[in-house]
């Protein structure tokens, strides 16, 4: 499939600790969020076909920052801090939550959120928190069930269906869900199609 945006052009732009220090709020962006270890860096690297791109977000001191990647034409990908990291003290977590909520709710150029969850542990408590913030902010939401290669086809498919059914039961059937594997190189086209829609809409 051909896509209107070449994601391999992504370049690190800047990091920000809070909304006030984000780059100018012009153009359009899509953010990536997920628990630590959900496979966010691997997905970003696979998407941008750059082995080291998301390593920037993992360097000590940057893990709790919002990291921006420029795609050109006033479009950006945004890597949000991985959450659920047990070693972080409660006070830091609270600040973090507040910064994250504020970014999601007040960032005008933000069009959508990709929420990454390990296919073996979907829809944990904090994932729901993110889903509700996204809903409140009226953003597009796309759920990525990562590391799909860890499950055989049957169990993978039934997890996907179960997640879809759970969302529908909560009245959230409009959100899209897919399986993805950075290792198996599957799901990339579907992810790009979601991003294309968010980043090219007027
Ligand atoms: P992050 O903390 O969300 O950025 O997660 P990483 O991308 O660093 O991945 C966490 C761990 O999961 C690493 O050991 C990765 O090698 C592994 N991982 C990430 N994506 C995949 C995948 O698609 N398949 C498999 N089998 N492992 C993966």
Enclosing H/E stretch for 27: none
pLDDT for 134: 94
pLDDT for 96: 84
Task: Tell me the pTM.
Answer: 0.96
Residue 17 has pLDDT above 80, yes or no: yes
Q: Return d(Cα 103, Cα 68) in angstroms, integer.
A: 13
Q: How far is the CA of 64 from the centre of ligand 1 (A)?
A: 18
Q: In b/e form, how buried is each residue of 164-197, taking b as 16+ CB within 10 angstroms?
A: beebeeeebeebbbbbbbbeeebbbebbbebbbb
pLDDT band at 85 (very low <50, low <70, confident <90, very high): low
Residue with tokens 């059914």: 165
pLDDT for 191: 98
Q: Whose CA is nearest to atom 20 of ligand 1?
A: 39
- Tens digit of pLDDT for each residue in 163-186? 999 999 999 988 999 999 999 999
Q: Whose CA is nearest to atom 24 of ligand 1?
A: 147
Q: Whose CA is nearest to atom 2 of ligand 1?
A: 37
Pair 32, 112: CB distance under 8 Å: no
In whole numbers, what is the pLDDT of the chain averaged over residues?
A: 93
């Amino acid at each position: 499939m051909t896509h209107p945006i070449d994601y391999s052009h992504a370049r690190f732009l800047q990091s920000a600790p809070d909304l006030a220090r984000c780059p100018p709020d012009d153009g359009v962006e899509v953010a990536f969020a997920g628990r630590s270890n959900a496979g966010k860096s691997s997905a970003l690297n696979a998407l941008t076909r750059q082995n080291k791109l998301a390593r920037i977000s993992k360097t000590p001191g940057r893990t709790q920052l919002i990291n921006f990647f420029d795609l050109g034409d006033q479009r950006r990908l945004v890597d949000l801090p991985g959450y659920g990291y047990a070693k972080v003290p409660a006070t830091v977590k609270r600040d973090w939550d507040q910064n994250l909520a504020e970014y999601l709710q007040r960032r005008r150029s933000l069009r959508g959120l990709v929420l990454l969850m390990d296919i073996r542990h979907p829809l944990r408590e904090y994932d729901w928190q993110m889903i509700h913030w996204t809903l409140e902010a009226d953003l597009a939401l796309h759920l990525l069930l990562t590391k799909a290669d860890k499950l055989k086809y049957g169990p993978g498919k039934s997890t996907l269906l179960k997640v879809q059914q759970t969302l529908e039961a909560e009245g959230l059937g409009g959100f899209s869900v897919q399986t993805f594997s950075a290792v198996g190189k599957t799901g990339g086209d579907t992810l790009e199609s979601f991003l294309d829609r968010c980043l090219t809409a007027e």
